[in-house]
C-alpha cells in the first residue's frame, strides 16, 4: 500500500526578508510550511534568508507590495498571509508622510485584495503599539488610539483597512500590535531609529552610546522569534477579528541595556512625542493564544552580542548627526508639549 504524502500548507510572508519577517520564515519552515516571501529589499536583505539557501520549500519574489495584482499567483492556495511589509523607520516619517501612507496603507490594501481573492484562511497583520501614543501603562488593547507621528498613523490605518476587509469581505484577520521588537537581523542600514542599531555600531567603534535623556526610559523589548511564534498562533487560532498587544510584559530601561552591552555614554536631548515607558498588557494574548515570551532580555542581548559583527555596516551615529536627522521631528512635535 502506497501512502501519499499530503502537500505542505502554504504561507505568504510579506516583508519576509526583513527583520521580523525573516524570523517568521524560520518558524514557518520549522513547522513544515511552504513559504513564499515577498520583499522589495528596501528595508530587508536577502542575506537574512541565507540560512535557508537551497531549501525547496522557500521561494522569494523581489516585489513592492503596491504592484501586486489581486490575482497574483504568489497567493494561490495560500492558507495564511503574514503581513510585515512596510516602512518601519519612525523618525523619517515626519519628513516623508506621503510615502508612509502609500506603502503602509495602500500597500496593505493590495495585500488584502490578494488574500481575499485567494480565499486564505487567515491574514495576520503586523500592527504597531505606536498607535497608542503616550499611553497609560500597562497598556491594554482597549486603550484610546492617539498616533503622534505619520508612521504611527499609517500603521493604524493599515490595521483599520484589514478589519474593514474582514467586515465587508469576510476575510479572516487578526492584528498584533508589536511593542519593541529586537534581535539578530535587525536593521543595520538606513535612517536613525531603533536603539539597538544605534548602540551596536557605536560599541563596535568604541564610541560612547548616545542616550536619549537620562536613560531611565523603559521599553517593552520582545525578541523577534517570540514575535514570530505569536503570529503563527494567531493564524492557527479559530478566533479572528482580534487585536493583541505583544511585548514581554516586562519593560527594561535603556540604562540596563547599556549595562548589558558595556560602554560609555553621552546624553542627547529627549525627543518630544515619545513615551517614558512602553509596557504591553499581554494578558489577552496569553489567555486566548497560550503565548508567553520564551527568550529573556538578558539571553536576547547575549544572542545579539554573539553576532555583533553583523552591525559593522550600520551607520555610525553621533550627537551632531542625530541632531541633524531629528530636526524635523523636534520642529513638528515639540509644540505638542507646549499646548
User: Where do the DSSP E strands lie in 150-264?
Assistant: 173-178, 180-182, 209-212, 218-219, 221-223, 242-246, 252-253
Nearest partner of 193 among 64, 339, 291, 325, judged by Cα: 325
**251 Cα distance to chain centroid:** 17
Active site positions, annotated: 151
Q: How confident is the model at residue 192 (pLDDT cuts 50, 70, 90)?
A: confident
Percent of the chain past pLDDT 70, that is, above it, reads 97
All structural domains of the chain with their residue ranges: 10-191+221-249+278-295
Beta bridge partners of 78: 10
4 against 33, higher pLDDT: 33
**282 Cα distance to chain centroid:** 17
Q: How confident is the model at residue 335 (pLDDT cuts 50, 70, 90)?
A: low
- What are 300's three cell numbers? 536576547
Q: What is d(CA 9, CA 7) in angstroms, rounded to the nearest whole number?
A: 7
271 against 110, higher pLDDT: 110
Nearest partner of 261 among 286, 291, 297, judged by Cα: 297
Q: What is the pLDDT of residue 336?
A: 54
Q: How confident is the model at residue 42 (pLDDT cuts 50, 70, 90)?
A: very high
Q: Assess if CATH 3.40.50.720 describes domain 10-191+221-249+278-295.
A: yes
Question: Quick one: average pLDDT of 229-236?
Answer: 98
Say which DSSP state 238 is in: S
Amino acid at each position: 500500500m502506497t501512502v501519499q504524502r499530503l502537500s505542505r500548507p502554504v504561507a505568504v510572508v510579506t516583508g519576509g526578508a526583513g527583520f521580523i519577517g525573516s524570523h517568521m520564515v524560520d518558524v514557518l519552515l520549522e513547522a513544515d510550511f511552504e513559504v513564499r516571501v515577498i520583499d522589495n529589499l528596501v528595508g530587508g536583505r536577502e542575506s537574512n534568508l541565507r540560512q535557508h539557501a537551497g531549501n525547496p520549500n522557500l521561494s522569494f519574489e523581489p516585489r513592492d507590495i503596491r504592484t501586486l495584482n489581486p490575482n497574483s499567483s504568489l497567493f494561490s492556495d495560500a492558507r495564511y498571509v503574514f503581513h510585515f511589509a512596510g516602512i518601519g523607520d519612525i523618525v523619517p516619517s515626519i519628513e516623508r508622510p506621503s510615502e508612509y501612507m502609500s506603502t503602509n496603507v495602500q500597500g496593505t490594501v493590495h495585500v488584502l485584495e490578494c488574500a481575499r481573492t485567494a480565499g486564505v484562511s487567515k491574514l495576520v497583520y503586523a500592527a504597531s503599539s505606536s498607535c497608542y501614543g503616550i499611553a497609560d501603562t500597562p497598556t491594554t488593547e482597549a486603550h484610546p488610539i492617539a498616533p503622534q507621528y505619520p508612521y504611527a498613523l499609517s500603521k493604524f490605518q493599515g490595521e483599520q483597512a484589514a478589519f474593514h476587509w474582514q467586515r465587508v469581505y469576510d476575510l479572516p484577520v487578526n492584528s498584533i500590535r508589536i511593542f519593541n521588537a529586537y534581535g539578530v537581523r535587525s536593521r543595520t542600514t538606513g535612517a536613525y531609529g531603533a536603539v539597538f542599531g544605534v548602540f551596536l555600531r557605536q560599541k563596535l567603534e568604541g564610541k560612547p552610546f548616545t542616550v536619549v535623556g537620562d536613560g531611565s526610559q523603559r521599553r517593552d523589548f520582545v525578541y523577534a522569534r517570540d514575535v514570530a511564534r505569536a503570529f503563527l498562533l494567531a493564524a492557527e487560532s479559530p478566533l479572528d477579528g482580534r487585536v493583541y498587544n505583544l511585548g514581554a510584559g516586562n519593560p527594561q530601561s535603556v540604562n540596563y541595556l547599556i549595562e548589558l552591552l558595556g560602554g560609555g555614554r553621552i546624553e542627547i536631548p529627549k525627543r518630544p512625542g515619545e513615551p517614558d515607558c512602553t509596557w504591553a498588557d499581554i494578558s489577552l494574548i496569553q489567555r486566548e493564544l497560550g503565548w508567553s515570551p520564551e527568550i529573556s532580555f538578558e539571553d536576547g542581548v547575549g544572542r545579539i552580542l554573539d553576532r555583533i559583527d553583523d552591525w559593522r555596516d550600520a551607520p555610525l551615529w553621533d550627537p551632531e548627526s542625530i541632531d541633524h536627522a531629528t530636526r524635523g521631528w523636534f520642529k513638528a512635535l515639540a509644540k505638542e508639549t507646549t499646548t
